[in-house]
Amino acid sequence: MHELLEQAHALLDDVARLRRAIHREPELGLDLPLTQAKVLDALQGLPLEIHRGQRTTSVMADLRGSQSGRTIILRGDMDALPLQEDTDVPFKSTIDGRMHACGHDAHTAMLAGAARLLAQHQQALSGTVRFMFQPGEEGYAGAVVMMDEGLLDAPSGGSPPTAAYALHAAPRWAPGTVLTRPGPVLASTDNFTIVVRGRGGHASAPHMAADPVPVACEIGMALQTLVTRSVNVFSPAVLTIGKIQAGTASNIIPEIATLDGTIRTLAPETRATLVEGVHRVARGVSAAHGLEAEVTNTAGYPVTVNDADFARFVLATGREILGAEHCLEQPSPQLAGEDFAYVLEHIPGAMSSLGTRPFAYAEGEAPNAHSNRYLLNEEALAAGMAMYAGVALAYLKE
């Protein structure tokens, strides 16, 4: 298995070039024609059976081994974020307001590299590797669209997928380190909007208006108290207000103030407590000041739960490929969310984190995912390719 890392390093320059090309032209949501074209070009000449999505620009590519056997899915997401990039890399985004700030450009490039690497080992495969190039992870549930279009169906002459594996870049950890854990690994996601309705007026006469701005601020603070006083400290939960919007000028009291936020939890009862609590707190605080609040909640992705046996299998395989010091059991879940969770609700599998911290940063100092200053250490991509390939090889040899 250790030779996979050396073979992946031989592909690193090409994979980094692909990653940079994708980074320059980021696309959002389910429609990624430029990215899809780059993926198809990277897969040219490989012995793959390729299927393009109908409702989205996905790519599903099957590599059949020399013998029949099981099928495993390897997944890489492809979409970017609505951010204005603020880095000085020579391949920075050329499209205003769009940026690959979550590593999906690297996931896509690593998966394409893994396809090339596994094609070199086709004779050793007993079964099929299905490469899942997925649009729409950032809030569009692209994984569900791909499942609707046959992701979990049997490949030609093969059996339906019985396992799935994904990697996610993580700038907090040392480059080339892989971490995963049995059980919950990422959180459920719920988004909410609170509209506080008051009565507009002149800023010099607030007593003649009903100002929604201080009420919105009070709601934001009260929601933090909701978390600390309503949720068991041993049941992780995060509630973040990511956007507050009100008013048009400094001398106008607006009619409304709007708060947009997200809830992240690992347990259904905690999720229910916070969703109900947001409604209660927003309406109660508003009513205390004689105003009204409307609350809408949008349920997002479920908890991402790694199959315990498969997670241990990934750790054992990773230690063979990278060495025990570079493949570690993740100490706790993270409260980001992932639509790969939907795949893992149907078949066993696991998601791992791949350390991509730039060399210039100490632990915990690198800009995190979803930052417009996000950076990624491309040296780590070789470890990611080797993990994709090694997990598939080991699974189809068992």
Angle between helices 3-24 and 308-322 (to 10 degrees): 100
Which residues lie below 8 Å from residue 371, measured CB to CB, with a gap of 6+?
101
Residue type, 319: R
Report DSSP state, residue 155: P
Please determine, for residue 1, whether its predicted confidence score (pLDDT) is greater than 80.
no
Residue 280 and residue 173 in one domain: no
- Residue that terminates a domain, selected from 271, 299, 327: 299
User: Which H or E element spans position 242?
Assistant: strand 237-246
**Mean pLDDT calculated for residue range 67-94:** 97
Residue 364 and residue 392 in one domain: yes
**CA-CA distance, 245 to 56, in Å (whole number)?**
32
Q: Rounded to the nearest 5°, which phi and psi values hold at 80?
A: -105, -170
Residue 279 and residue 311 in one domain: no
pLDDT per residue as tens digits for the range 145-196: 999 999 999 999 899 999 999 999 999 999 999 999 999 999 999 999 999 9
Residue 245 and residue 291 in one domain: yes
Residue 179 and residue 95 in one domain: yes
Largest distance between two CA atoms of the chain: 80
Residue 284 and residue 340 in one domain: no
Contact of 182 with 314, CB cutoff 8 Å? no
Supply 101's token pair: 């700030």
**CA-CA distance, 73 to 129, in Å (whole number)?**
6
Residue 206 and residue 271 in one domain: yes
**CA-CA distance, 396 to 66, in Å (whole number)?**
11
Residue 259 is part of which domain span? 188-299
Please determine, for residue 398, whether its predicted confidence score (pLDDT) is greater than 80.
no
pLDDT per residue as tens digits for the range 22-72: 999 999 999 999 999 999 999 999 999 999 999 999 999 999 999 999 999
Which residues lie below 8 Å from residue 129, measured CB to CB, with a gap of 6+?
62, 63, 65, 71, 72, 74, 115, 118, 392, 396
pTM of the model: 0.92
- Residue that terminates a domain, selected from 281, 299, 317: 299
State how far Cα 134 lies from the chain centre: 11
- CATH number for the domain that contains residue 157: 3.40.630.10
Residue 177 and residue 198 in one domain: no
Residue 273 and residue 288 in one domain: yes
Which residues lie below 8 Å from residue 390, measured CB to CB, with a gap of 6+?
1, 4, 317, 318, 320, 321
From the number of C-beta atoms within 10 Å of its C-beta (0-12, 13-18, 19+), residue 298 rates as: exposed
Please determine, for residue 363, whether its predicted confidence score (pLDDT) is greater than 90.
no
- Residue that terminates a domain, selected from 248, 271, 299: 299
Contact of 62 with 160, CB cutoff 8 Å? no
Q: Rounded to the nearest 5°, which phi and psi values hold at 271?
A: -60, -50
**CA-CA distance, 311 to 318, in Å (whole number)?**
10
Residue 309 and residue 220 in one domain: no
Q: For the chain, how far is it from start to end, CA to CA, in angstroms?
A: 14
Residue 248 and residue 307 in one domain: no
**CA-CA distance, 13 to 233, in Å (whole number)?**
46
Residue type, 275: V
pLDDT per residue as tens digits for the range 271-326: 999 999 999 999 999 999 999 999 999 999 999 999 999 999 999 999 999 999 99
Residue 164 and residue 206 in one domain: no
Domain count of the chain?
2
pLDDT per residue as tens digits for the range 207-262: 999 999 999 999 999 999 999 999 999 999 999 999 999 999 999 999 999 999 99
Supply 255's token pair: 């009619």
